[in-house]
Amino acid sequence: MVNAIVGANWGDEGKGKITDMMAKEADIIVRFQGGANAGHTIVNDYGKFALHTLPSGVFYKHTTSIIGNGVALNIPVLLKEIQSIVERGVPKPKILVSDRAQMVMSYHILFDQYEEERLGGKSFGSTKSGIAPFYSDKYAKIGFQVSELFDEEALKEKVVRICETKNVLLEHLYHKPLLKSEELIKELMEYKEMIAPYVCDTSAYLWEAIKAGKNILLEGQLGSLKDPDHGIYPMVTSSSTLAAYGAIGAGIPPYEIKKIITVCKAYSSAVGAGAFVSEIFGEEADELRRRGGDGGEYGATTGRPRRMGWFDIVASKYGCRIQGTTDVAFTVLDVLGYLDEIPVCVGYEIDGEVTTEFPATVKLEKAKPVLQVLPGWKCDIRGIRKYEDLPENCRKYIEFVEEKIGFPITMISNGPGREDIIYRNGR
């Protein structure tokens, strides 16, 4: 059985925690898109970890972690990450890397930086991990697949061709040092040595695992609103963040994905530029940022302060729909315990009309939030394990959100730890 864990919003919803928790019952956890540009923060018995490339199931002895073909694979980052968790006492994880995954090259990272520099104030707020240049090259068919590392002759020829095209841009657009084919070959050969022990036909492996009835989790990075097709284009990421893409980025049949668990945070946060209708500012935002997540809302990869906002019904309803949600995991609810009243964005006003349908970017830029204020519960709900034990106003908040987004909230996360979870059975 295959289940997907994906985000409803702009990312940072707490997917890492839900994956780490669900991995207890899983055999295989697969990353199917994205790269080392975003991170998951996980708190468990070994401590607190920020993972960027490894799936959030690496902390168990019984799981296999797979880097699927859809991932932007930064080999040195992956190896460093493996080393860093092992150094902190985590048993060496079993990791398989798809032979069809493509590699982030050092020049992708440079091109990302050069382009941000060139755009100046009009930049996309890239994390400069090379992700956009990487995926551009993949679809322009000038990327490097892991499998190519094992055919040196063909690789040498390809490197020369790639230097030619890249060097035109480096010389005439960016005025930066040119690429040298010998150096790129050296880089690729280093990658070959590092990655060889992990390389596998992961799609075939997963096919056998599905037939054998294994429990497989697909772990998404970022969230619906950062999807290049369905998100807030162009302020999106460069690979699909949707569960449907899990089938492609892992190489499995789409009909095998049985449950789509969409993680939805009890308030909003976003990184980078782009429309964010329910955004709040000033002291109100600072306080939520300070209290948010586990130790504040700052990027796991970049350390950047996240933009903050109230829960957005319009964006979350859409975010859940476009994922194909079967279950919602409603997270970080404990953080809201300090508020007397909790505003929720229940509609967007665009050109004088109120809508609850999430619009395409041009209209989205004009949207103003319509807020409804719900009473707070004014206490700490961490440690509560049963839904009935939550304060009445807290349950009302959950039920209000559930009714408005139209998807069942089957899990409520009320703390960063594995055990901080309330199941609502029978929904």
Shortest distance in whole angstroms from residue 229 CB to ligand GDP: 20
Q: Taking contact as CB under 6 A, which single stretch among the options 35-43, 360-368, 370-378, 396-404 is the one that binds ligand GDP?
A: 35-43
Which 285-314 residues touch ligand GDP, going by CB under 6 A? 293-294, 300
SS3 assignment, position 37: coil
Q: Can you give the length of the chain in residues?
A: 427
Measured in whole angstroms, the distance separating CA 115 from the mean position of its chain's CA atoms is 23
Distances (CA, A) of 375 to 92, 158, 268, 392: 47, 62, 18, 10
**Residue 55 found at the interface with ligand GDP (CB under 6 A):** no
Of 10-18, 192-200, 281-289, 307-315, which segment contacts ligand GDP by CB under 6 A? 10-18
Residue 137 designated active-site: no
Q: Which two tokens stand for residue 339?
A: 């508020």
Q: Which one among 143, 309, 319, 415 touches ligand GDP, defined by CB under 6 A?
A: 415
User: How far is it, in rounded angstroms, from Cα 218 to Cα 250?
Assistant: 8
Residue 250's nearest CA partner among 276, 220, 290, 230 is: 220
* From 82, 243, 332, 342, residue interacting with ligand GDP (rule: CB under 6 A): 332
Q: Which is nearer to ligand GDP, 278 or 331 (CB)?
A: 331
In the set 9, 16, 73, 288, which binds ligand GDP (CB under 6 A)? 16
Q: Which of 110/421 has CB closer to ligand GDP?
A: 421
Known catalytic membership, residue 12: yes
User: Counting beta carbons within 10 angstroms of the beta carbon of residue 101, is it exposed (0 to 12), middle (13 to 18) or buried (19 or more)?
Assistant: buried
Strands of the sheet with 257-265, listed across from one edge: 199-200, 94-98, 64-67, 28-31, 216-219, 2-7, 257-265, 327-331, 409-413, 421-423
Does 15 bind ligand GDP (CB under 6 A)? Our answer is yes
# of chain residues touching ligand GDP (CB under 6 A): 23
Instruction: By CB under 6 A, tell whether 262 contacts ligand GDP.
Output: no
CB 148 within 8 A of CB 103: no
* Span near ligand GDP by CB under 6 A; candidates 146-154, 349-357, 361-369, 408-416: 408-416
Residue 414 touching ligand GDP (CB under 6 A) = yes
Say which residue the tokens 């893409």 belong to: 245
Q: Which is nearer to ligand GDP, 15 or 128 (CB)?
A: 15
**Residue ranges in contact with ligand GDP by CB under 6 A:** 7, 11-17, 40-41, 43, 293-294, 300, 331-332, 334-335, 413-416, 420
Active site residues: 12, 40
